[in-house]
Structure 1
Amino acid sequence: MTGVTLQNVIKKYGDIQVIHGVDLEIDDGEFCVFVGPSGCGKSTLLRMVAGLEETSAGQIVIGERDVTRMEPAERGVAMVFQTYALYPHMTVKENMGFGLKMNGYPKAEIEAKVAEASRILKLDDYLKRKPSALSGGQRQRVSIGRAIVRGPEVFLFDEPLSNLDAELRVEMRVEIARLHKEIGATMIYVTHDQVEAMTLADKIVVLRAGRIEQVGAPLDLYRDPDNKFVAGFIGSPSMNFLNGVVDKGAVRIDALDRTISVAMPLPADGTAVHVGIRPEQCTITRDGPLTVDLSEALGGVSYTHVVTSTGEKVVVEERGLDRMREGDPVSLDFDPQDVMLFDAATEARLR
């Protein structure tokens, strides 16, 4: 079994603490994605697992081994970086086998491992090419192949698709998902792109300011976020948030001049709350007190930005041929049972 366990892991740079007591269990064979905004500590945490950053306190266990103080080469991990870092004078085949060659592996074993990685990644037609003759996606596949031939217990990916264009990112997401399915290894993947996280992960770890906000399966985080940060980060476009006030056992939303009843216990009257509703859960109709500020037409779907009377904005997902345009007067509606409420002071979810 080759899971990964982090126990009260802390990282400090001098007096500045950037990772604050992280506890996490990643099961054997699981695809775990660290996601969060820039500066949240996700890459630092990954590098600590790899041994590229020293762990200030706490324990990192891979399989049954405490690797906290081990050198990177001793940990049984392989890392794929944002930059491909391929040797330009070597062919694809030579790049993938170079690490094994430097470690004294027999030539026949290197050939076999490279051939298997090439088969998995569909690189057989490119083995004699040099990196300059490859596309960005092909170079990243070679970089992944170099990791595969090492036969690691755990694969670590540090934003591997960031340098690719949109079409190649989609293609490589599919490739990485297929790779995980075929080899079944434990994988930890870092990204700031929540779409990548939702489509790839068995488990998502949402980080903010060096702390874990929530851990769970993608749809669990989408349907049942613990706080406003997670609710806003998971889902594309982001959840809409409007200011609300508890009033006589209901919630008054001044931006929409509407009071809604919800099937949950509410705090005392006068308590400020944030009302969350996702774009796909809103409906929009012509004529009304609100105004369309912007419409993003993406083909089969449009995202219509509506300005409320208080200046707050709501994004609505529209489908079909009859869609709103900039400046149109409109009304918004939604099912109150789809609403999520968050305490305005703590941002914790009200349940």
Structure 2
Amino acid sequence: MSGVALSNVIKKYGETQVIHGVDLTIEDGEFCVFVGPSGCGKSTLLRMVAGLEETTSGQINIGARDVTHADPSDRGVAMVFQTYALYPHMSVEENMGFGLRMNGVPKDEIKKKVAEASEILQLDQYLKRKPKALSGGQRQRVAIGRAIVRGPEVFLFDEPLSNLDAELRVDMRVEIARLHKEIGATMIYVTHDQVEAMTLADKIVVLRAGHIEQVGAPMDLFRDPDNKFVAGFIGSPSMNFLNGVVEGGKVRVPALDGEVFETSVGLPADGGDVLVGLRPQHLSVTEAKSSITVDISEQLGGVSYEYLTTSTGERVVVESKDEEVLKSGTTVKVAYNPEKVMFFDAQTELRLR
């Protein structure tokens, strides 16, 4: 097993640059997740590590080897794609061992490696079945097993759960987390789903428009984002952002009936604009005469979400553990935890600290 290091990696398609000087170190045995919206460059970056996309400039190392321009087969990586890409006429056992057979590995060794992988993935009873006789989750496990038998230094996952339904996605997240714990290999995983990122990763890399916005452990990004983009992307539901005005070293928020926030962070001069970040989990509501009204209430069993509309037209989402939800049109007062409020520069969107 090996770590992965990217140094000033750039990718261009003609004159269009899509990856902008990425520097990143992924430690041996680490589970690293690339996350970001569609078109941010996360899959392109993964494919550059795999050797499926040419690196325009910069260097990619796997372990101590410079693999920047090496063939994919010489990089010591195995990739699991969004589509299962299984051969329909082959059994599970044959699909898992196909790559080894193509490389001339002896039959006994193939059988041993397939048996080991099928035990890890709990596929033993399905080895003689064809893909059409498997569920979507089982097919994805076969695709992962095909990667395991190759014994790669690094596993690469390109949105492997996108084609599964909600329940199977949860089950497969657990399977992949268990797999990483069991074999301890370096894994790089691409997803646009921040819930997957938060639950799987040792390290999250948040990407936007080919740039790394922030790198860190899941809860570090949640608690201490560097900018509005990361704060809004990490966490579900997303952070609320309300316009605030600096007055006398404090921040007045018109949307919350002129509520004044005190803070020790460095603020712009009086009259300056800031964004006030409030996570739904850190808010609560009580019925009161106010300009803030309940628009919609969602009850999901153990948790509910109140969608509020303010007098300024800004929206606020509040998470509640109460079993009773408020009726639409109810006016409410919003309470907040002052220790959890974040402030961002309105122009640069950088966190004010």
CA contact (8 A) 1:40 1:210 kept: yes
Displacement, 1:222? 0.2
Displacement, 1:325? 2.3
CA contact (8 A) 2:246 2:269 kept: yes
Q: What is aligned with 1:267?
A: 268
Q: Counterpart of 2:289 in 1: which secondary structure?
A: strand
CA contact (8 A) 1:10 1:56 kept: yes
Q: What is aligned with 2:293?
A: 291
CA contact (8 A) 2:40 2:209 kept: yes
Does 2:190 correspond to 1:190?
yes
Displacement, 1:288? 2.6
Q: What is aligned with 2:178?
A: 178
Superposition RMSD in Å:
0.7
CA contact (8 A) 1:8 1:58 kept: yes
Q: What is aligned with 1:302?
A: 304
Q: Counterpart of 1:178 in 2: which secondary structure?
A: helix
CA contact (8 A) 1:277 1:340 kept: yes
Q: Which runs of 5+ in 2 are unaligned?
A: none
CA contact (8 A) 1:18 1:41 kept: yes
TM-score, scaled to structure 1: 0.99
Q: What is aligned with 1:341?
A: 343
CA distance in 2, matches of 1:324, 1:57: 56
Q: What is aligned with 2:318?
A: 316
CA contact (8 A) 1:263 1:337 kept: no
Q: Counterpart of 1:53 in 2: which secondary structure?
A: coil
CA contact (8 A) 1:60 1:68 kept: yes
Moved more, 248-257 or 165-174: 248-257
Residues 81-137 of structure 1: CA deviation (Å, up to 9, x unaligned): 000000000000000001000110000000000000000000001000000000000
CA distance in 1, matches of 2:111, 2:294: 61
Alignment map for 1:30-179 (pairs within 5 Å): 30-179=30-179
Q: Counterpart of 2:87 in 1: which secondary structure?
A: coil
Displacement, 1:144? 0.1
Residues 143-166 of structure 1: CA deviation (Å, up to 9, x unaligned): 000000000000000000000000
Displacement, 1:2? 0.7
CA distance in 2, matches of 1:182, 1:194: 24
Q: Counterpart of 2:212 in 1: which secondary structure?
A: strand
Q: What is aligned with 1:279?
A: 280
CA contact (8 A) 2:303 2:323 kept: no
CA distance in 1, matches of 2:293, 2:4: 51
CA distance in 2, matches of 1:221, 1:133: 42
Alignment map for 1:211-250 (pairs within 5 Å): 211-250=211-250
Question: What is the letter of the counterpart of residue 177 of structure 1?
Answer: A
CA contact (8 A) 2:304 2:323 kept: no
CA contact (8 A) 2:295 2:328 kept: yes
Residues 264-299 of structure 1: CA deviation (Å, up to 9, x unaligned): 232211111100000010010012311111111111
**Sequence identity of aligned pairs in percent?**
75
CA contact (8 A) 1:262 1:337 kept: no
Moved more, 39-48 or 329-338: 329-338
Moved more, 289-298 or 69-78: 289-298
CA distance in 1, matches of 2:75, 2:328: 56
CA contact (8 A) 1:242 1:275 kept: yes
Residues 195-226 of structure 1: CA deviation (Å, up to 9, x unaligned): 00000000000000000000000000000000
CA distance in 2, matches of 1:297, 1:73: 50
Displacement, 1:193? 0.1
Q: Counterpart of 2:113 in 1: which secondary structure?
A: helix
Q: Which runs of 5+ in 1 are unaligned?
A: none
CA distance in 1, matches of 2:203, 2:297: 34
